[in-house]
Amino acid sequence: MMAVVVATIMGLGIAGCAGAAEKTVEHTADSVTLAPGETLVVDFGEINPSVGDAWVITQEPDAAVLGPGEEETRYTGEEGMTGAPSELSYRFAPVGTGTTVIEFEYQFRGEVPEDLDDQKTAKIEVTVR
């Protein structure tokens, strides 16, 4: 009986996640409009954290519009391989309606690169209707 209850609860949780709408944009996008309930995914493509590559949030979105960004990485190397790249994205769930801005900055080994050609930022205006 307990197994049936647990299986039912897990099934409901999975079913709830399956219907969640997402909108994915490249980190180079200037703006994006989301429908209510639509989660924003900002895609940074491949980075190599093992050498020190990172994209960090420098300006969080307005908490009345979007929730805090959740970093997600997916290792793309073979199992047991060291130093392979990962795919990086940030996920933002809508909280309310309105417009907000999210800013990101590329860092290498925890710092902004000294070389101007290696300094990168991203700024995305997000509207939730």
Q: Tens digit of pLDDT for each residue in 42-68?
A: 999 999 998 999 999 999 999 999 999
In this prediction, what percent of the chain has a pLDDT beyond 70? Answer: 85
Answer yes or no: is pLDDT of 128 > 90.
Answer: yes
29-45 pLDDT, tens digit each: 999 999 989 999 999 99
| Domains, the chain, with CATH or none | 22-128 (2.60.40.2020)
pLDDT of residue 3: 43
Please give the backbone phi and psi of residue 105, each rounded to the nearest 5 degrees, phi first. -140, 135
pTM for the full model? 0.82
Please give the backbone phi and psi of residue 57, each rounded to the nearest 5 degrees, phi first. -80, 125
CA distances from 86 to 51, 96, 100 (A): 11, 31, 28
Neighbours of 68 (CB within 10 A): 13
Which residue type occupies 98?
Answer: G
Integer Cα distance of 104 and 55 in angstroms? 6
